[in-house]
Each structure stands twice: as C-alpha cells, then as structure tokens.
Amino acid sequence: MTTTPKHPHNGHRARLRQRARETGLAGLADHEVLELILTYAIPRVDTNRTAHRLIHTFGSLSGVLEARYEDLRQVEGVGENAATLLTLFPSLTRRYLLSRTGEKPLLNTSERAGEYGRALFADCRVETLYLLCLDVKCRLLQAVKLAEGTIDRVPVQNREIIRAVLSTQAKNVLMMHNHPSGSLRPTAEDIDLTRRVMHALESIEVLLVDHLIIGADGYFSFMNNQIGDTGAKPRPALMYAAEDEF
C-alpha cells in the first residue's frame, strides 16, 4: 500500500498560520505577512520566494498592496488569483474603516470629521474632492465626490455643488480633499475653492462648516486655523454644531 507524500511546504504554511493566530500580524515580518496572504491564493507552491520577489519589485509591503493588477501579473509566480487578492486590500481597508464610523456618523467636531476623512481617503492615490452633506445636527447624509485628479485643474461648477446639496436636503456641508503628497499646507487654489463653495452655499442658505485637507499624517482644518477671508458674517472659529445640542 502506497501513501501520497505530504507536500514539503504544508508544514511551513501551517506553522506560519499558527504564528499569525497566536501573535497577530505584529509577530510577522513584512515578507511573512505577504507570504501568508499568498498561501490563500497559490496552492502547493513555496510562496516565500514569491513574497520576496514582490517586495523586491515594489519596494515594500505597501508598495505591493498598492500596485496595479497588470504590474503584479508581471512578477514570476503571481497568477490571476493572487494578483486579484492583493489589489483588494486597499479598498477593503477603506470599507472596514468606513464601516467602523457607522452608516450616518456624527461629524460635529473637527476631530470626528478628521477621523472620517482618514477612512474616506484610505485608498485614494490621486487628489479627490468630496462634499459631505450633513443634516442640521451635522450627521452625515451623503458623501458626494465632486472631482478627481488635480483639483485646481478640474473645474468645479457652482451648479454641481448646489445640485448635490439640494438633492440631499442638507443644512450643513463639510468639504474635504486629500493631498496624496502628504503635505497639509493649503494652496492658494484651496483657499479660493473654499471661498467659492462658501458663497455658492450661502445663496441657498446652507452653511459650509469646514474644509479639511487630509494627508498621511493627519488633517488640516480651515476653520480651526481661520484660513482665508471669506467675506462672510463673523462666526466662531469652529462652525460645527455645539456638543451640548445632542
């Protein structure tokens, strides 16, 4: 009677998964995290070598997870299933973070808005502009993407802003865009855009409560920093609804 020999990598995979269960990913090196992920897409193959090839090609674990499907497929050992699985992680992270905020999060402070913004832009690799339409108590009704690309080169029409706000019956609006470069410093174009949006919203009696720039290291609040002379009536530094209203 003959027995089928066990694959030499089965024991290694089992030990790797056991370590992950016991210590979490913090107990694994980056190439081991990648190796572990690949075991679920590549059966019966030594994924250690493939993991090292990927990190060598893209420079880091984050580089691998942010790589395009077509580029991943160029790496030896990476097939359709593995490439597809790897490309899902950034958007999965975004969905997870947004899910933690709840369906209609309360964004009545810059801190809460900043936390939501970090989740909203978790997988954005290009500059993107959102209008967050809020109710009278600054609870999110809908996040509307207005532009994608280089914001100062993508014209944002007042009618698009007004249409988005009226369709949700918003009473307040929070504007957000990201700086993929990581810089949180507002540009002259950012300040001009803030002024334009504020005036457009005032024409329909809707308040722009803030404009946040989201970066890798945090966020910048226009209202906290009193950036830009909008010409509007004097208001408190924070234009969010007061905490004691809830």
- ∠ CA 27-43-21 to the nearest 5 degrees? 25
Partners of 208 in beta bridges? 173
pLDDT of residue 6: 52
Question: Are 182 and 217 a contacting pair, CB within 8 Å?
Answer: yes
Q: Please give the class, per CATH, of domain 10-97.
A: mainly alpha
Q: Which pTM does this prediction carry?
A: 0.77
pLDDT of residue 238: 40
pLDDT tens for each residue of 156-193: 788 888 998 999 999 999 999 999 887 888 888 888 88
Q: What are φ and ψ of residue 233, in 5° steps?
A: -65, 150
Q: Where in the chain is the domain with CATH 1.10.150.20?
A: 10-97
Strands 207-215 and 172-178 turn out to be: parallel
Give the full edge-to-edge strand order of the sheet including 128-134: 140-148, 128-134, 172-178, 207-215, 218-221
Residue holding tokens 């970066």? 215
Task: Give me the CATH topology for the region 104-245.
Answer: Cytidine Deaminase; domain 2 (3.40.140)
Residue type, 83: A
| Low pLDDT (below 50) residues in the chain | 1-5, 228-246
CB atoms within 10 A of CB 46: 16
Strands (E) across the chain are located at 128-134, 140-148, 172-178, 207-215, 218-221
Among candidates 193, 190, 130, 197, which has minimal Cα distance to 158?
197
pLDDT of residue 224: 85
Q: Where in the chain is the domain with CATH 3.40.140.10?
A: 104-245
Question: Are 215 and 179 a contacting pair, CB within 8 Å?
Answer: yes
pLDDT of residue 237: 35
pLDDT of residue 230: 42
CA distance 214 to 121: 8
CA distance 46 to 241: 56
Question: Are 82 and 71 a contacting pair, CB within 8 Å?
Answer: no
